[in-house]
Structure 1
């Protein structure tokens, strides 16, 4: 069988800390998320990343894996055969450390099926499966009102022959109002399978930010197109915000880029954020003779140099 270099898969050194491994895993999961990634092999990459983390993210499995490579310079893709007693003493019970508890490739199936020996420890109760991590992309309005969304994730499960296989699952997820970017939603029992039951699935919130929105914590910045006369003359305008339609007053003599603050109109929470409306002038097109004449009249009668003093 071919050797798999899990450290190379996650892009970390063999001396990486548990926290560094977790950070690298989450970064790669976001990079190859099917809703965000443009990579042709995103699905395959996701499977490889999950398999690598199922080993390196578990202290006992990582120790067994490191023991395999100690004193050798195995390379990814290299043909190799593990020593018959390398896994002796790992795992709980006479069956040794079984790779069936992880999302597995043929590497896992062949490698861990051959482990034997007697544990040096007292028997441990069956362990739950590993927790899984993925991302879910939502709209800004979902954070205001809450929503139910369907997310597709690649998760491991046992087939009829009790083998670990990775399949795509569509899960219905309830998005609570007030969620923020980077927050994690826990789906109990939707993680990797294990002898003691499945682990949990953690979904990291990411936003599908259209060009008119920007987020800073619970504060929302929204670009609002306005006409030159609305800026110059001022007055009330209607704006569609993530929480609904509002009427705001544009002060007379405003310039493009002016920021209007609506307190408490950001993402809701114990302390709701604010909504900032960024005024952006949109000029009418000079696409008719009449419109060109109006622009020419403005040029003559309202002539000024906007670049003076710059």
Structure 2
């Protein structure tokens, strides 16, 4: 099993702050998203970026990873398994092991990640977070799409695969109970957390989404296609919109008794001119606005 440099994968320094790591993740995830990118190897690159962000976004995981990195390991070097000089943490270091749903933003993690943080491999009795003969507990990282649609997902736990139904609109912190799937025949209690998403952030039941638009779309208005958890929808941009303006797509957030909305924040992006005609167009704009 070879060491991975998660900082290098995201293109940030080891001392990078949370905001810088998040910005780098979002930029790369958008670039390599399989639904968007046509580059060779984009899907594998997308998985690497997601894995790196999962490791660095959580302070506890990041501190654990930094300890190993500080020991001098570098990309390509073999890392010994637990018990051979590589310390994954004691019984009290983590309240839960973590289980990641197959597929989506939360799945497909490498052996290195699984050895670092676990993936359905527990301590006592071979089950995650085992507590003697009673229930076992684990955190379940669920893609937002599965939460929005109420899909079934496949997880790996205790050396086997399980298909479980994700209740539509389930909140973070709620628990899914799987009878007889824990240690020694006990129950497996899965505490839900939302997997990182390349496009969306969650605020309660609302979905936050930054959308880039062209300067002329901001100035003149128009209609653009916007991604939501339920698919693409049309959004009208009012003329005279400024950077940071927020628009609301009602009912496009996470479902519930009172469904959330999707809040779209506009980001104005000026394209780089690559032809004489485009440079002339910018010169004409400058002359018009300087007059």
Whether 1:139 aligns to 2:158 is no
- Number of residue pairs aligned between Structure 1 and Structure 2: 198
Q: In structure 2, the residue corresponding to 1:9 is in which secondary structure?
A: coil
Note the alpha carbon deviations across 1:179-206, whole angstroms, 9 max, x for none.
223322111111111xxxx111122323
Note the alpha carbon deviations across 1:55-82, whole angstroms, 9 max, x for none.
x975xxxxxxxxxxxxxxxxxxxxxxxx
Cα RMSD over matched residues?
3.3
Alignment of 1:152-171 (within 5 A): 152-153=156-157, 155=158, 168-171=159-162
Alignment of 1:195-210 (within 5 A): 198-210=185-197
Q: In structure 2, the residue corresponding to 1:265 is in which secondary structure?
A: coil
Gaps of at least 5 residues in structure 2 are 1-82, 84-88
Say whether the 8 Å CA contact 2:99–2:141 is kept in structure 1. no
2:124 equivalent in structure 1? 51
- TM-score, reference length from structure 1: 0.55
Gaps of at least 5 residues in structure 1 are 3-7, 13-23, 59-101, 103-128, 156-167, 305-310
- The CA deviation at 1:263 is 2.9
Evaluate the alpha carbon distance shift between residue 43 and residue 279 of structure 1 in structure 2; reply closer, same or farther with a 3 A threshold: same
Q: Following the alignment from structure 1 to structure 2, what is the Cα–Cα distance between the partners of residues 141 and 32?
A: 14
- The CA deviation at 1:151 is 0.7
Whether 1:230 aligns to 2:199 is no
Evaluate the alpha carbon distance shift between residue 263 and residue 132 of structure 1 in structure 2; reply closer, same or farther with a 3 A threshold: same
Say whether the 8 Å CA contact 1:32–1:42 is kept in structure 2. no
Q: Following the alignment from structure 2 to structure 1, what is the Cα–Cα distance between the partners of residues 125 and 283?
A: 67
1:294 to 255, 260, 281: 281
Q: Following the alignment from structure 2 to structure 1, what is the Cα–Cα distance between the partners of residues 168 and 121?
A: 34
Say whether the 8 Å CA contact 2:169–2:256 is kept in structure 1. yes
2:164 to 173, 193, 196: 173
Note the alpha carbon deviations across 1:95-141, whole angstroms, 9 max, x for none.
xxxxxxx5xxxxxxxxxxxxxxxxxxxxxxxxxx3322233333222
Say whether the 8 Å CA contact 1:9–1:48 is kept in structure 2. no
Say whether the 8 Å CA contact 1:31–1:37 is kept in structure 2. no
Task: Return structure 1 stretches of 4+ with deviation > 3 angstroms.
Answer: 30-39, 41-49
- TM-score, reference length from structure 2: 0.58
Whether 1:40 aligns to 2:112 is yes
- The CA deviation at 1:147 is 1.0
Note the alpha carbon deviations across 1:268-304, whole angstroms, 9 max, x for none.
1112112101112232231122111211222222249
